Chain A
Amino acid sequence: ELKVEQNPLFLSMQEGKNYTIYCNYSTTSDRLYWYRQDPGKSLESLFVLLSNGAVKQEGRLMASLDTKARLSTLHITAAVHDLSATYFCAVDEDNTDKLIFGTGTRLQVFP
């Protein structure tokens, strides 16, 4: 059974600081997704990583994938309040487009 773990679960960080969210998964997969969820809202797609070594960046967020280590990271650069949300990683089980989600990381950015 595929398991996806994120850490930390909660992250409170000051504006302007950098931090990284980690996503580990238990079986081989070369497709990993990052989503953002605002309170009470649906999920917004941030990144789709489809191969080992894939790196994607959008604004202050950068995601990477190491399929050999079964690890993805979401790096936050110079955080701003608007980034406050819950971030989920999800792994495609057996490349079937069925996503198994991590527990989520609740990020709070304060002045």
Chain B
Amino acid sequence: SQTIHQWPATLVQPVGSPLSLECTVEGTSNPNLYWYRQAAGRGLQLLFYSVGIGQISSEVPQNLSASRPQDRQFILSSKKLLLSDSGFYLCAWSPRYTIYFGEGSWLTVV
């Protein structure tokens, strides 16, 4: 069966520090991968979308970036965090016609 792992689960980072969130999917090949963000008490916003290694689509202008160095690995990064980057970050994958989410990463920028 397919599983998705996301880490770290929680982190507190100072403004201006770098960020790296990682996501891996097991049990499938060439999945579509996504990064979503949920601000406190809000809906989900699609940040990045990838259909394959090195293929990244950015949906919202921001100081975040994403990379897909391997088929089942998706990384969300920032060189310098802003207070507004705080939120719940969710990695997701799609085997077609549905999307499954990881456990999420809570980021607090202080």
Residues of A within 8 A of B (CB): 31, 33, 35, 41-45, 48, 50, 88, 90, 97-104
Chain B residues near A (Cβ < 8 Å): 32, 34, 36, 42-46, 49, 59, 90, 94, 96-104
Q: Given A42-B104, A43-B90, A98-B34, answer yes or no on A48-B44 (Cβ-Cβ < 8 Å).
A: no
**A43 contacts across to B, CB distance below 8 A:** 44, 90, 101
Which A residues are CB-close (under 8 A) to B102?
42
Q: A41-B104, A42-B101, A44-B101 are in contact. List 10 more A-B contacts (CB 8 A).
A: A31-B97, A42-B103, A45-B100, A48-B98, A97-B97, A98-B34, A98-B49, A98-B59, A101-B36, A103-B43
Do B43 and A104 touch across chains, with their CB atoms under 8 A apart?
Answer: yes
B101 contacts A97, CB within 8 Å?
no
The reply to whether B44 and A50 contact each other, CB–CB distance below 8 Å, is no
